[in-house]
């Protein structure tokens, strides 16, 4: 594929496709789910069993209504179009995926050992709360997205994530992740995981660092990266 971006490839595939389901898919779904269903910010669809869509009725529902409180949007396709896209999604699941190179068991050791990942992330309720929960990350993200999240955490931040830096009137500097905010107050989780609330009137400075992440990029050897990705990809449990 060389330097072709996934978006450009999706465009070409959309133009070239004979099948109306494939055309719709490349135009409306591929930028999240990958031109071949390999996943990206969206779940991997090239698999025989889909968590949210165990049967045709559920698949149609997911495609037309989306999945509430996730990055999966609904859309205004007609019932016929939904049926076409659903047919195409099912065909993706019949193509075998290449196995991942790493060893998930070694990846788990790095994760909870020297990787220091569990200080910030929870899996099945265990770990620190600063980063997103990873319990079912393997079902929600592609291996390529997981790898990029480790080597370049700022490349594609999860929806709703915002790093903030603030300075109180008393002169304290804090960095954290926004939990919520309204006109008068803001709640953050600082780097130690503690939840702190402030009235905005108490703050001398408030910076919203869009596109920034407190997560360090992983600098270990390539083989360890393979192992970590294999471990994360194996995390498929429903939350």
β-partners of residue 157 are none
CB of 222 to ligand HEC, least distance (A): 14
Q: Using DSSP, state whether 175 is helix, strand or coil.
A: strand
Q: Of the two residues 159 and 197, which places its CB atom closer to ligand HEC in the complex? A: 159
Please tell me the number of Cα atoms within 13 Å of 171 on its side-chain side: 0
Query: Which of the stretches 6-14, 91-99, 133-141, 178-186 binds ligand HEC when contact is defined by CB under 6 A?
Result: 133-141
Q: Using DSSP, state whether 187 is helix, strand or coil.
A: strand
Question: Quick one: which of 218, 225, 230, 233 contacts ligand HEC (CB under 6 A)?
Answer: 218
Q: Does 32 engage in binding with ligand HEC (CB under 6 A)? A: yes
Query: Which of the stretches 2-10, 97-105, 137-145, 178-186 binds ligand HEC when contact is defined by CB under 6 A?
Result: 137-145
Question: Quick one: which of 10, 46, 117, 233 contacts ligand HEC (CB under 6 A)?
Answer: 117
Q: Does 153 engage in binding with ligand HEC (CB under 6 A)? A: yes
- Would you say 90 and 109 are in contact if contact means Cβ atoms under 8 Å apart? no
Question: Quick one: which of 10, 92, 123, 177 contacts ligand HEC (CB under 6 A)?
Answer: 177
Q: Which is nearest to 88 in space by CA: 189, 6, 18?
A: 18
- List, as own/partner pairs, every contact residues 123-131 make where C-beta atoms lie below 8 angstroms and the sequence separation is at least 24, other chains included: 123/235, 124/237, 128/193, 129/189, 129/193, 130/176, 130/177, 130/189, 130/191, 130/193, 130/214, 131/215
Q: Does 53 engage in binding with ligand HEC (CB under 6 A)? A: yes
- Would you say 95 and 36 are in contact if contact means Cβ atoms under 8 Å apart? yes
Q: Of the two residues 101 and 204, which places its CB atom closer to ligand HEC in the complex? A: 101
Q: Using DSSP, state whether 200 is helix, strand or coil.
A: helix
CB of 165 to ligand HEC, least distance (A): 14
Question: Quick one: which of 10, 21, 46, 63 contacts ligand HEC (CB under 6 A)?
Answer: 63
Q: Which is nearest to 64 in space by CA: 52, 51, 75?
A: 75
Question: Quick one: which of 146, 166, 233, 235 contacts ligand HEC (CB under 6 A)?
Answer: 146
> Contacts with ligand HEC in 76-95 (CB under 6 A)?
85, 89
d(CA 114, CA 43): 28
Binding site for ligand HEC (CB under 6 A): 28-29, 32-33, 41-43, 45, 50-53, 59, 62-63, 67, 70-73, 75, 85, 89, 111, 115-117, 119-121, 130-132, 137, 139-141, 146, 149-150, 153, 157-158, 161, 177, 213-216, 218, 228, 232
């Amino acid at each position: 594929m060389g330097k072709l971006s996934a978006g450009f490839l999706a465009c070409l595939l959309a133009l070239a496709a004979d099948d109306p389901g494939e055309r719709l898919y490349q135009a409306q779904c591929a930028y999240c789910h990958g031109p071949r269903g390999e996943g990206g910010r969206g779940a991997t669809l090239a698999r025989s069993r889909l968590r949210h869509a165990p049967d045709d009725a559920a698949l149609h529902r997911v495609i037309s209504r989306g999945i509430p409180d996730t990055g999966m949007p609904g859309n205004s396709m007609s019932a016929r179009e939904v049926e076409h896209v659903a047919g195409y999604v099912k065909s993706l699941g019949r193509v075998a995926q290449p196995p991942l190179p790493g060893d998930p068991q070694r990846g788990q050791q790095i994760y909870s050992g020297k990787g220091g990942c569990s200080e910030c992330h929870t899996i099945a309720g265990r770990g620190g709360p600063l980063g997103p929960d990873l319990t079912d990350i393997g079902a929600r993200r592609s291996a390529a997205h997981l790898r990029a999240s480790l080597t370049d955490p700022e490349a594609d931040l999860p929806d709703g994530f915002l790093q903030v830096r603030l300075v109180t009137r008393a002169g304290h500097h804090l960095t954290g992740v926004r939990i919520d905010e309204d006109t008068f107050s803001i709640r953050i989780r600082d780097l130690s995981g503690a939840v702190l609330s402030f009235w905005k009137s108490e703050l001398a400075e408030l910076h919203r660092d869009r596109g920034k992440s407190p997560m360090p990029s992983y600098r270990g050897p390539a083989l360890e990266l393979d192992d970590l990705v294999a471990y994360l990809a194996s995390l498929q449990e429903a939350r």
